Amino acid sequence: MDTREYVVKRILDLCDEKRLSINGLARISALPPSTLKNIINGASRNPGVVTLKKICDGLEISLIDFFNTDEFRTIEQEIR
């Protein structure tokens, strides 16, 4: 799994935890639903930190909380 896939998985896991749809997350994050859908379906391969911060704000978590998972702690370096 690459970083993009981990980001998508984390977003979906957090939506599950908070019982939110992607449209619901978009609404509380002040983002267009298309932005989140593009991240989820891979059309947006590199979501920016500002977008991730808005997602975290909507979920009422910090960026540190977003990335504080075993997957992100053990992810392999992508640049070789």
Please state the pTM of the whole predicted model.
0.91
pLDDT at 77: 82
Ranges of each domain in the chain = 3-65
pLDDT digits (tens, 9 = 90+) for 45-78: 899 999 999 999 999 999 999 999 999 999 888 7
Distance, CA of 29 to chain centre: 11
CATH class of 3-65: mainly alpha
- State the average pLDDT for the chain: 94
Percent helix / strand / coil, the chain, rounded to 5: 70, 0, 30
CA pair distance 26, 37, nearest whole angstrom: 9
